[in-house]
Structure 1
């Protein structure tokens, strides 16, 4: 069977087959009694359930993460890698387990290829603490996070850490840390909600102001930014980590509010004049404000649209919701912080967000 003829399977399903039919028997026979965890977590569209046949050309395939304790990784890591290279099947459900490395700077990722020799596999070995340090900047799986450490965790990375599937956890630490990171502590959650409303408050009047001076492109750009901010806010309200922009719309479509709110947001994006943009945005503001009121986190705030001070622009005045939420934050460290929020509420630069040490340093500089 050629790669092109292989039937597409969701990557998580393919990883499960790789583990159950190949990796698990090899480890059982060669290392009886070895404590380990096996999972498909971390980077990759399949971890969040967004892979498709297009994914096949880019770091997709029979992949797995094996976690050992630090001592076992040092003692057995090289042997396990070598053993898997020798004994893994050449393909799983028609998909090669061998990844050919590329030296093409325009296409640097590994690609599945057939091989008659040892398999250059993507069964990656880690220890849990080292993996968490590299991806999130956490000291260990058992460490308690303070509020600033929570604010330094990008939602994309949190989604990748808590998503996917754990097929086996003989260590316990991987499952435990995924449970602890499943969602923000309530005080951090309230703070982030306040900050997200504040983001909307900063720009909601700009849609009309740009249009007033003849800047239709600027008005459209601000509208798109506000739609994006509302989508992030809906993720927060539904206690779902928002992925980065490639998958934000896909993730939003799975939220409970997407069916009713989606047409309004699409209407705002498709509008070609300011009155239509304003109308759709105000409909969206009122819908999300009503969701906030229904959450029970704050006493109800009037969700209706209103003029922006004395100017003829209809807005929500979203700072009312930001302030109402901020008043419910009792954690002293959070109360001292300005309403700028978590790291991905003030930057979406992927290169920065992938550097935990820089992100933690930036968060600790805010005050």
Structure 2
């Protein structure tokens, strides 16, 4: 990618902000001055640049000078098509960056958008959700997408009102229900099934159990930090910014880098103290250290009072802390 010295260090959000204020806003002032006080402008939604994670690798698609303009339905019906035409006529290159390279499935992420339709793509018609069950089943990465990025200006406030309500995070009963599900999932996949699969010598099943444990553990960290987990490929990257349990991500990294074959071979030389846990497998120790760290944080947040290293044992108390009858009756793994 050909860039000037100035643009080479810019993030995607910085680029979008500069492009809007230097190119986009002057266009609106000249062609749509009466609508300017009613337009929300920014960059929100899908894309690594909205999360602040963009790099040279991620810039090969759906990246370039661009921004979003959000209108109410009435204003969109009145002027949306005309405004989109004006947006499309803006210069593509800016500050050394080439025009946005839209992928086959990346259309509609930027440009002129209707507020309710924009949020509808991510969370449906209820904006924000009205029921706890609806909150429970919303895709978390979609909630992360609509609360990431930046709003550059929004005089009307309608777009920001919905965004702020979503950014307040899950209702506490929903958060606790999800924490209970992650605790059960971590116990089942990591503390229980990984060791048993390795005991059988089934390294494929053990790898699946380990991957599930890592996914569940990362999700648990986001829940304990009250942050929405982003799209799966950015989940680990996003852990760098979480203040609670910063010691766990390095353990997860060691967990996935450990050689499973070495652990399997070591089994034969190790005197077995537990028929289902290979004490020579460093992953067993790492899994336990991660789970103990999570349990200690659950105690700090007054979500459990039990003294048990097995996460499954804490799910019962977690479920008892849910006040909503409908959520309380859900299976522990739901959510």
TM-score category, normalised to shorter length: 0.7 to 0.9
- Cα deviation for residue 135 of structure 1 reads 2.0
CA distance in structure 1 between the aligned counterparts of 2:192 and 2:101, rounded to whole angstroms: 52
2:252 equivalent among 265, 282, 304: 265
**Quick check: 2:65–2:92 contact (8 Å CA) kept in 1?**
no
Distance 1:144 1:205, change over 3 A: closer
**Quick check: 2:43–2:151 contact (8 Å CA) kept in 1?**
yes
Distance 1:123 1:144, change over 3 A: closer
TM score, norm. by length of structure 2: 0.85
Structure 2 spans left out of the alignment, 5+ residues: 264-277
What is the CA deviation profile of residues 136-189 of structure 1, one whole-angstrom value per residue up to 9, with x for unaligned ones? 1123x4x55201111221111001101100001122121111111110011111
Tell whether 2:231 aligns with 1:238: no
Distance 1:224 1:100, change over 3 A: closer
2:188 equivalent among 202, 226, 232: 202
**Quick check: 1:38–1:65 contact (8 Å CA) kept in 2?**
yes
Q: Secondary structure at 2:241's aligned position in 1?
A: coil
- Cα deviation for residue 223 of structure 1 reads 2.3
What is the CA deviation profile of residues 80-117 of structure 1, one whole-angstrom value per residue up to 9, with x for unaligned ones? 1222333x2342211234x466xxxxx73679xxxxxx
Q: Secondary structure at 1:125's aligned position in 2?
A: strand
2:139 equivalent among 154, 160, 172: 154
2:320 equivalent among 327, 352, 359: 327
Greater share of strand: 1
TM score, norm. by length of structure 1: 0.78
**Quick check: 1:234–1:257 contact (8 Å CA) kept in 2?**
yes
CA distance in structure 2 between the aligned counterparts of 1:94 and 1:258, rounded to whole angstroms: 40
Q: Which moved more, 1:174-183 or 1:129-138?
A: 129-138
Partner of 1:75: 78
1:229 equivalent among 177, 196, 216: 216
- Cα deviation for residue 126 of structure 1 reads 1.4
Q: Secondary structure at 2:153's aligned position in 1?
A: strand
Aligned pair count reads 309
Tell whether 2:11 aligns with 1:5: no
Partner of 2:16: 15
Partner of 2:329: 336
Partner of 2:302: 296
2:201 equivalent among 214, 223, 248: 214
2:174 equivalent among 170, 188, 191: 188
Distance 1:40 1:324, change over 3 A: same
Q: Secondary structure at 1:95's aligned position in 2?
A: coil
- Cα deviation for residue 257 of structure 1 reads 4.4
Q: Secondary structure at 2:76's aligned position in 1?
A: helix
What is the CA deviation profile of residues 6-33 of structure 1, one whole-angstrom value per residue up to 9, with x for unaligned ones? 4332110011011111111111221123
Q: Which moved more, 1:253-262 or 1:33-42?
A: 253-262
Aligned-pair Cα RMSD in Å: 2.2
Tell whether 2:40 aligns with 1:37: yes
What is the CA deviation profile of residues 178-211 of structure 1, one whole-angstrom value per residue up to 9, with x for unaligned ones? 1111100111111111111121233321122112
Q: Secondary structure at 2:227's aligned position in 1?
A: coil
Partner of 1:347: none
CA distance in structure 1 between the aligned counterparts of 2:94 and 2:203, rounded to whole angstroms: 53
Tell whether 2:149 aligns with 1:164: yes
Distance 1:73 1:55, change over 3 A: same
Tell whether 2:117 aligns with 1:130: yes
CA distance in structure 2 between the aligned counterparts of 1:55 and 1:258, rounded to whole angstroms: 28
Partner of 1:89: 91
Partner of 2:292: 286
What is the CA deviation profile of residues 261-281 of structure 1, one whole-angstrom value per residue up to 9, with x for unaligned ones? 233223332153143221111
CA distance in structure 2 between the aligned counterparts of 1:126 and 1:90, rounded to whole angstroms: 19
**Quick check: 1:196–1:341 contact (8 Å CA) kept in 2?**
no
